[in-house]
Chain A
Amino acid sequence: MSRLNEAEIRRIAELAVKQLEGQATAANVEKVVHEAVQRMSGQGAAAAARHERMKNVPVNNHAKGQRIILTAFGANSIGILAGLTSELAALKCDIVDLSQKIMQDFFTIMILVDAGNSDVAYEQIRERMARVGESFNLKVIVQHEDIFKTMHRV
């Protein structure tokens, strides 16, 4: 089989993101895409066999207990989203999901973050994100995801 071109690889990646849904972290996507490319390129039956074994195993690579929900709200201003997300990137936190609304100049954002790859302690993430919030006059609340699951799901 000939080598895959860039557009095809991107398509595989997009498909993988869709398949992985909430667990689409950079590491996960990369792994799945890598395996797919290897398999399609016919490079080694071992990779295909591994893929076959992994097929029924739920992909869940994030370190247990490291999914965090960041909520921020306050008056809207330019650069809030950039400020928050670039600080998250600096902390090596993956953004898994994000939803944002502006209601009558009131900015509200919720970011689901996978901090499994971050080497920074939870307390520090909390503190640094709060500091970014302060610079935009935002209230930033950082909470572990489990509290929401507990309260809102039977």
Chain B
Amino acid sequence: MRIELPEILETIRMTEVEHFDIRTVTMGINLKDCISDSLPRLKNNIYEKLMRTAAEHVATAEKVEAQYGISIANKRISVTPVALVGDGYYAEDFVEIAEVLDKAADNLGVDYLGGFSALVQKGFSKGDLSLIRAIPEALTSTRHVCASVNVATTKAGINMDAVYLMGKIIKQTAEKSADNDGIGCAKLVVFANAPEDNPFIAGAFHGVSEPDVVVNVGISGPGVILRAVREARNADFPTLADHIRRMAFKITRAGEFVGRKVAGLQNIPYGIVDISLAPTPMPGDSIADILKAMGLQDVGAPGTTAALALLNDAVKRGGLMASSHVGGMSGAFIPVSEDQGMISAARAGHITLEKMEAMTSVCSVGIDMVAVPGDTSAESIAGLIADECAIGVSNSKTTAVRVIPVPGKTVGEEADYGGLLGIAPIMPLSKIDNSHFIHRGGRIPAPVKGINN
């Protein structure tokens, strides 16, 4: 099985020129065995377990990077939803738990730790409510901790009390970090049908049915897929899909390989590879550019949703062939601030929240890293969340909202978060009143799945 020179050069071109890397190697750690009726003991148990379990995580990932010449952009940790681990404690106690998580993440050298989370699709436990109320403070007083709240599932319907509450929590979180354009909200995701093995931040958490420790991998390769699309030139759609599929196979194989190595060297089970295409603000590492290369003048043009559907499906075909265990979100991400092409489309007013909502139905996540005016009401944000949940719940897929009401700013201005979080142009959100609808309370019933339309 001789490796040919063009194959070697292609791999090198992918990593050196087209920004192909492994976006994240995320170690999932169960914290259920840390539960204690004493807060100091609980905090100590969590800290000890994280430091013990993930001691070698970053060093191992770096070793694998060097050995195979594929860079791993982020080394992360996800933990059991903290609302479960700290159930019975008060909001201020949860802030302390978040600080312990942050301290551990800092000492371990990981960039983010996900799992400051609650699953409330059907209702709140005392711990769930305390955790959610602690989110604004926890995200402001920590650097690495990320929070997520699942408010809807296809089986349970949409918990509208939680949706409204999250609208208010997002507002509060933005206010708390007003000095930094509400950056706290970049670490907070509201989900419908949240996956339990998602390696991507900010929504990563270690599901209750997962093993004690597991390594999950997220790939990133918009740059190489962009080349595949360009190489297809004026080909018809089946040929275009074929080009994407073949490239997705290669990058998924690399992702799975790296994940297995990082897991194997630490004697930890390998979990899944998440085949989401994750963009970065770097030029050429953009999902929007792929859609444009397919023949759209800009994202937002009629046909954008179809182009995204084609892309997403072709990536899945290649990815599923390449790996036995594909999981997590596994769909293209379309974050606005983290994608150069999306940023420019938002600046030009070509992409709107309404179009992004439609795009959600064929990709993962949805309204992601979107900045809206600071004076947007909690009810409007809740309405946005409810709409995204409705798409997720009715189509049995994951959807999410990561929205930032930037304090003191409005349409025409921008929020610059730097690094991977990028620049977010403030996008207009409809101000038509929905408060009577949002204030009703209770749960929107689970959808009928027998008569599909």
Interface readout for B55-68 with A: 1 if CB under 8 Å, 0 if not?
00000000000111
A97, A101, A147, A149 interface centre (most CB from chain B within 10 Å) = A147
Give chain B interface residues in 1-51, CB to chain A under 8 Å.
1-3, 5, 7-12, 16
The answer to the question of B168 belonging to the interface, with a C-beta cut-off of 8 Å to chain A, is no
For A142, the closest partner residue in chain B by CB is B69
A152 to B1, CA, bound (A): 10
The answer to the question of B257 belonging to the interface, with a C-beta cut-off of 8 Å to chain A, is yes
Is B8 a contact of A69 with CB atoms below 8 Å? yes
Q: How far is the CB of B11 from the nearest CB of chain A, in Å?
A: 6
Q: How far is the CB of B51 from the nearest CB of chain A, in Å?
A: 26
Give chain A interface residues in 107-154, CB to chain B under 8 Å.
108, 110, 112, 122-123, 126, 139, 141-154
**Inter-chain CB contacts under 8 Å: number:** 64
The answer to the question of A22 belonging to the interface, with a C-beta cut-off of 8 Å to chain B, is yes
Is B67 a contact of A150 with CB atoms below 8 Å? no
Secondary structure type dominating chain B contacts = helix
The answer to the question of B70 belonging to the interface, with a C-beta cut-off of 8 Å to chain A, is yes
Interface readout for B241-255 with A: 1 if CB under 8 Å, 0 if not?
000000000110110
Is B68 a contact of A147 with CB atoms below 8 Å? yes
The answer to the question of A71 belonging to the interface, with a C-beta cut-off of 8 Å to chain B, is yes
Is B66 a contact of A123 with CB atoms below 8 Å? yes
A151 to B16, CA, bound (A): 16
The answer to the question of A99 belonging to the interface, with a C-beta cut-off of 8 Å to chain B, is yes
Task: Decide: A22 near B2, CB < 8 A? Known: A146-B257, A150-B254.
Answer: yes
A145 to B68, CA, bound (A): 8
Residues of chain B lying within 8 A (CB to CB) of residue A101: 5
A122 to B64, CA, bound (A): 11
A108 to B13, CA, bound (A): 13
Q: How far is the CB of A91 from the nearest CB of chain B, in Å?
A: 16
Which residues of A are at the interface with B, using a C-beta cutoff of 8 A?
22, 69, 71, 97, 99, 101, 108, 110, 112, 122-123, 126, 139, 141-154
User: What are 27 of the A-B contact pairs (CB < 8 Å)?
Assistant: A71-B8, A71-B9, A71-B12, A99-B5, A122-B66, A122-B67, A141-B12, A144-B68, A145-B3, A146-B68, A146-B257, A147-B11, A147-B69, A148-B7, A148-B8, A148-B11, A149-B3, A150-B254, A150-B256, A151-B7, A151-B250, A151-B251, A151-B254, A151-B257, A152-B3, A152-B11, A154-B321
